[in-house]
Amino acid sequence: MWRQDHPDVALQNVPGDLVTASASGLDPDITLANAMFQLDRVAAAWAKDTKRDPAMVRAEIAAMLHDTSHAPLAGLVGEPMVNVLQMNLHLRRRYGAPA
């Protein structure tokens, strides 16, 4: 389904966890690469809702993603991850509830 909605995206640029799901589909974490891939869309939506400069909102959210990311075993293995629920709570605290 994702590919049908995004036919022009070069697949080598798409993080694997963006187009796959766990068995439960309830994992709280996504890779930092996945979060960064979605950054433009998320920042644009928050900028529109808050009537703020999109570039400034994008920079703030990117910093939040890097500040809140974590890696398994204190970074010894695996990719950096972002907890989606915690990130959404941070965004709501910073920008308020979306319209």
CB 90 within 8 A of CB 68: yes
pLDDT score recorded for residue 26: 62
pLDDT score recorded for residue 22: 60
Report the distance separating Cα 6 and Cα 80, nearest Å.
25
pLDDT in tens, 11-33: 767 777 776 666 555 678 888 99
pLDDT score recorded for residue 2: 63
What is the per-residue DSSP string for 20-86? ---SSS--SEEEHHHHHHTHHHHHHHHHHHHT--HHHHHHHHHHHHHHH-B-HHHHTSS--EEEHHH
pLDDT score recorded for residue 91: 95
Residue type, 14: V
pLDDT score recorded for residue 66: 95
In the predicted model, what is the mean pLDDT of residues 72-94?
A: 88
Is residue 94 predicted with pLDDT exceeding 70? Answer: yes
42 vs 98, higher pLDDT: 42
Is residue 99 predicted with pLDDT exceeding 80? Answer: no
In the predicted model, what is the mean pLDDT of residues 78-94?
A: 92
